Amino acid sequence: MKKKILIFIILVIFIIISFAFLYLFNFIPHRKYTNKDFGIEDYISKTDKDGDGIDDQTDILENVRKYIATKPKYKSKYYNTGYPNDEYGVCTDVVGFGLLGAGYNLQELVNADIVEHQSQYNIEKIDKNIDFRRVRNLKIYFDNNAISLTTDFKEWQGGDIIVFKNHIGIISDKRNKNGIPFIIHHASPVQRAYEEDILEVKTDIIGHYRY
Give me the pLDDT at residue 141, please.
98
Assess whether pLDDT exceeds 80 at residue 181: yes
* pLDDT value for 19: 45
Query: pLDDT at residue 61 above 80?
Result: yes
Per-residue pLDDT of 39-56, as tens digits, reads 999 999 999 999 999 999
Which band of pLDDT confidence, cut at 50, 70 and 90, is reported for residue 204?
A: very high
- CA–CA gap between residue 135 and residue 139 (Å, rounded): 6
Q: Which amino acid is at 15?
A: I
pLDDT of residue 155: 82
Give the C-alpha separation, 186 to 192, whole Å: 10
Q: Is the model's pLDDT at 31 over the cut of 90?
A: no
pLDDT at position 60: 98
Give the model confidence (pLDDT) of 96-153 as tens digits. 999 999 999 999 999 999 999 999 999 989 999 999 999 999 999 999 999 999 777 7
For the chain, how big is the Rg over CA atoms in Å? 20
Q: What is the pLDDT of residue 9?
A: 60
Assign 3-class secondary structure to the chain.
Answer: CHHHHHHHHHHHHHHHHHHHHHHHCCCCCCCCECHHHHCCCCCCCCCCCCCCCCCHHHHHHHHHHHHHCCCCEECCCCCCCCCCCCCEECHHHHHHHHHHCCCCCHHHHHHHHHHHCHHHHCCCCCCCCCHHHCHHHHHHHHHHHCEECCCCHHHCCCCCEEEECCCEEEEEEEECCCCCEEEECCCCCCCCCCEECCHHHCCCEEEEEEC
34, 82, 96, 148 from 172: Cα distances, Å: 10, 25, 16, 17
